[in-house]
Structure formats: C-alpha cells, structure tokens
Amino acid sequence: MKRLWLFLFLLVAAPAWALEVVATTSSMGMLARTVGGPRVKVTELAPPDRDAHMLQARPSMMRALRDAQLVVAVGAELEIGWLPAAMNGAANGAILPGRAGYFEAAAQVPLLDAGQAADRAQGDVHPAGNPHVNLDPARMATIAKALAERLAQLDAAHAADYRERAKGFAAAVEEKLPAWKQKTAGSGGAVLYHKDGAYLLHALGLTLHGMLEPVPGVAPTASHLEALAGKLRGRGGRQGVIVHTPYQPPAGAEKLAGLSGWKVAVLPIDPPAGADANAYFALIARWAEALAPSK
C-alpha cells in the first residue's frame, strides 16, 4: 500500500521535477544533458545524420516545443528555416527569443566570420557569423557555463548543481584539449565541404585551406575544385585531409582527392542522438584522429 502511494506520488510529482528542455541538435542535447543532469528531460529536434540548415518544421516539433520550458538552440540563424515556424506553431510564450526560456549557444561566444556583407551573391551567408560553434570544445565549455546560469535562473533551487556540472565539463575539455592538439600537431590542415568544421580547426590551430562549396549553400563546381586543387598542389608541404559529413554528397571530395592526392575523411559534425559528454569527446577525438598528420 505504501508503495502504491509512493508510486502515485511520483506519478503526480515527477513531471514537475524535470525541466522540459528542447534541444535543436544532438550537440545542444548533449550540453543540456551534461549541464542539467537528472533535473532535465531533453528532446532533440534535428537528428545528427542530416543537415540542420535544411530541416522543415513539423507537427512533432511543435508538440515538443508546446511543453518546453527551455529551448537550447545553436542560433546565429542556423535553424532559421524551421525553428521560428515550429516555435510560432507551438504557442508557447515562455520559449520565444528574449525570454528566459530561449537559449542560443552562438550568442554566448565570439563567432568566426562575423560581420560579412549580407550579400547573397556570396551564397547563403550568415552575416552574424559562422553558427557551427558546436565542434569547438573550448567554446562549448563557455556555452555550458552560460547554460548553467540559464538553468539556475529557471530552477534556482539547483543552481549549484548546474554550475558544478558545467565546471566539470569545462575541466574535462581543458584536460583533453592538449592531447587533441598534440595529436594533430604538424597536420597539413583540411579542406571542408561547408564551413561546419572551421571552429575545431581553429581550436586545434590547423589551417582551413578552403571549402568544396564555391559559396555557402551551393554545390561544388568543377572549376572551383580545379582552382582549389591548384592551390593545394602549389602549397607543397604536408598533405591535409578533405572532410565532409555523411549527408554531404561525396562526389566533390572524391574529385578533389583525385586532383590533389589528399585523402578524404567522412565525419559527422554532431554526436549521436542522445549523446553524453563522452560521446561528444569521442567525436572530437575522431576528428583529431582524421586530421592527424599521416606517418
């Protein structure tokens, strides 16, 4: 009987215990879980196997956002094609931009490539800066701390726990970063399909030689690849790596590999759905492994 009462009590009380968090990508989900710990229930909207630029708003997103107390977005217009529509359809005032329930990772850290001209002759540019901050562990540590403050604001009773966990994440990053840097020291750098791995290259001090896309959001062209190959050949020195994600078509990378002799690596930019911090670190380690200079 006692057990039954306890069960009923849990049933009634449990929803109030967990903060409903909706994360746009699995990287953001990882952060929310890592910082929120047992106090948050995280739903991820964009699966890691597809392009977060290109998603479409759908009823299941609206449903998840309807009950959310906090949205953790990458921001800087990465999700502009679907998140505003999904939030609009969710009729939940607590998570609109400007409210405590809306958290944007890109707003917590300095961005690369900020202040570009908003000229679409240059493709689908983000004048606010490159939004793909999730692959920079150091920036993610800063974002984790900011997220802890936001969670503390929404759930003051457990503020210390959130801060503690964010600190723990930052400490883990600090501990691991030297090893990743060491691993990739002397690397010939990389060519990316899209500027989605730029932050990690930057964090590791590696050179980004160019993108397969002639301008963001436009598929590789033969003339662009030839120019790029010429640049890579002219450079001499160590060979680097051509990286694209599983959802980006491999043809451009293969063509450039043929022209330049560089090898191709296929790497995701987000950890698996439902990832914890270790899965995220494993993703960074995978990148470091691929970027490491060939022996």
Partner 1 sequence: MQRNSLWVAVALALAAPLAQADDLKALREEVAQLKKSYEDRIAALEKRLADAEARPATTAASAPVVAGTGQVGAGSAFNPQISLILDGVYFHDNKGGGSTEMYEHIDGINHSHEHEGHAHGELERGFNLRETELAFSATVSPHFDATALMTVSRDGDVELEEAYFDTRSLPYGLKVRGGKFLSGIGYLNAQHPHQWDFVDQNLPYRTLLGEHGLVDTGLRLSWLPKTGNWFTQLGVEFLQGNEQTFASSGEEIADVRADGAPLAGTAAGELAGKKSGPRLTTVFAKFGPDLGINHALQFGGWYARSSQHQEVHDHSAENPVALVTALQGKGKAWGLDAVYKYDAGRYGGQGNVKLVGEYLRLNKDLKVAFHEGGTLVGTPFDFVQDGFVVQGTYGFLPYWQAGVRYDATGLTNKVDMPSGSPWKGNKSDRWTFALTRHIDHFSLLRLQASRGNLWVEGAKENANQIFLQYQHSLGAHGAHSF
Exactly one of 10, 60, 227, 278 binds partner 1 (CB under 8 A); which one?
60
The dihedral through the CA atoms of 202, 263, 51, 43 has a sign that is negative
Q: Are 26 and 48 in contact (CB under 8 A)?
A: yes
Report how many residues bind partner 1 under the rule CB under 8 A: 63
Inter-helix orientation angle 59-66/83-90, to 10°: 60
User: Applying CB under 8 A, does 56 fall inside the site for partner 1?
Assistant: yes
Q: Cα dist. 19→15, 65, 166 in Å?
A: 8, 13, 17
Tokens for 185, please give them: 């020291």
| Among the residue ranges 4-12, 26-34, 213-221, 254-262, the one whose residues contact partner 1 (CB under 8 A) | 213-221
Measuring CA to CA, which residue among 246, 243, 247, 259 is closest to residue 209? 243
Cβ closest to partner 1, residue 56 vs residue 223:
56
User: Applying CB under 8 A, does 202 fall inside the site for partner 1?
Assistant: yes
Which residue is it, tokens 């290109």?
A: 54
User: Applying CB under 8 A, does 86 fall inside the site for partner 1?
Assistant: yes
Min CB(168)–partner 1 separation in Å: 24
Cβ closest to partner 1, residue 104 vs residue 161:
104
- Distance of alpha carbon 262 from alpha carbon 130, whole angstroms: 26
Min CB(58)–partner 1 separation in Å: 4
Min CB(143)–partner 1 separation in Å: 12
Cβ closest to partner 1, residue 179 vs residue 219:
219
Cβ closest to partner 1, residue 219 vs residue 282:
219
- Distance of alpha carbon 23 from alpha carbon 20, whole angstroms: 10
Q: Please state, as a whole number, how many other Cβ atoms lie within 10 Å of the Cβ of residue 46.
A: 26
Burial of 73 (0-12, 13-18, 19+ CB in 10 A): buried
Exactly one of 22, 27, 69, 77 binds partner 1 (CB under 8 A); which one?
77
| Among the residue ranges 59-67, 152-160, 226-234, 262-270, the one whose residues contact partner 1 (CB under 8 A) | 59-67
Footprint on this chain of partner 1 (rule: CB under 8 A): 47, 49-51, 54-60, 62-63, 66-67, 75-77, 80-86, 88-93, 96-98, 102-104, 106-107, 109-115, 117-118, 120, 123-124, 126-129, 131, 202, 217-219, 247-249
